[in-house]
Amino acid sequence: MTSAGEGSASDEPESSERSERDQQQGSASDEEHSSERQRARQASWIDSHCHVYEERIPGGVDGALAEARDAGVAAMVTVGCDRETSLAGIDLASRFTPIHATVGLHPHEARHGVETVLDLFDRPGVVAVGECGLDYYYDHSPRDAQRRAFAEQIAIANDRVLPLVVHTRDAWEDTFDILDTEGVPQRTIIHCFTGGPDEMRASVERGAYVSFSGIVTFAKSTEIHDAARECPLERMLVETDSPYLAPSPNRGRANTPAWVTLVGEHIAGLRQVPVDTIRDATRAATLRAIPGIGPSLMATPPGESTEP
């Protein structure tokens, strides 16, 4: 029987070798997990437009993030419509890596004036201006106020070199006229596209991106179907606009970012291409349209909070 001292001395090389092997194996395991996370991010969806601060979001923010993660949705843009919702989005973006915030004054709120949100555009984490634009269907704000607020937010996007998120309903002619007059921002997104092939082409000709929502899954949306078939993939985005406009077969329910996958799957069916083609193309287009999303996809895994 050896003494304790002799045993320790003779075991040192073997123990050292084991430690080195364990470190190498641990390093290899970490690299493998990192690669898996990176592949998962590269093969994932982005919801380019939602409102996850809304109380109607099923399961609240935590539930929406968990469901999105399980569905393969790596990021989402929560869009401000006035001061209160813009601040809510900024707060969520500061706490959850997958969430990104915009600041804007919706045409419904245009009567309050862009000055009500002006100081928020320089807040950390703001990735775009909007949503802003024209809504002649509801006319909740006078049309002159809508046009003025839209023009002012286009100027803000151009001055700050930020993407612009555009809401337009029953107002295509004025929307394009104001964009042309003020200067189309380098990265402009026509959100919740409800036009046909002509409006899609007019948008793309101006360098804009076209974002399709759950409306594209509705059987009677034939003009939107045609636009989705023809839209260049490099200019196509997908969105939920949740909690609104749930896609089929969930129409009528409160929408959630996870269901952006249903939007993409339907477009894949319309175009008769693999779903992966739409997922990868819209992801790449969204990262070009809203580059502020990109850095977070290289950092914390999807669905994890940035809070300590």
Q: For domain 46-297, give the fold.
A: TIM Barrel (3.20.20)
Strands (E), 146-194: 164-169, 188-190
pLDDT of residue 42: 58
Tens of pLDDT, residues 91-109: 999 999 999 999 999 999 9
* Nearest partner of 74 among 35, 101, 100, judged by Cα: 100
pTM: 0.85
pLDDT of residue 3: 37
Strand partners, 210: 190, 236
DSSP-assigned states of every residue in 59-98? THHHHHHHHHHHHTEEEEEE--SSHHHHHHHHHHHHHBTT
Give yes or no for a contact between 75 and 293, defined as CB atoms under 8 angstroms apart: yes
Spatial distance between the Cα atoms of 168 and 144, rounded to a whole number of angstroms: 15
pLDDT of residue 152: 99
Tens of pLDDT, residues 57-77: 999 999 999 999 999 999 999
Residue 39: enclosing H or E segment and its boundaries? helix 4-42
DSSP helix/strand/coil, 134: strand
Say which amino acid occupies 3.
Answer: S
Angle at alpha carbon of residue 153, lines to 151 and 158, rounded to 5° = 95
Say which amino acid occupies 9.
Answer: A
* Nearest partner of 126 among 84, 91, 167, judged by Cα: 91
Spatial distance between the Cα atoms of 104 and 137, rounded to a whole number of angstroms: 20
Tens of pLDDT, residues 178-237: 999 999 999 999 999 999 999 999 999 999 999 999 999 999 999 999 999 999 999 999
pLDDT of residue 297: 75
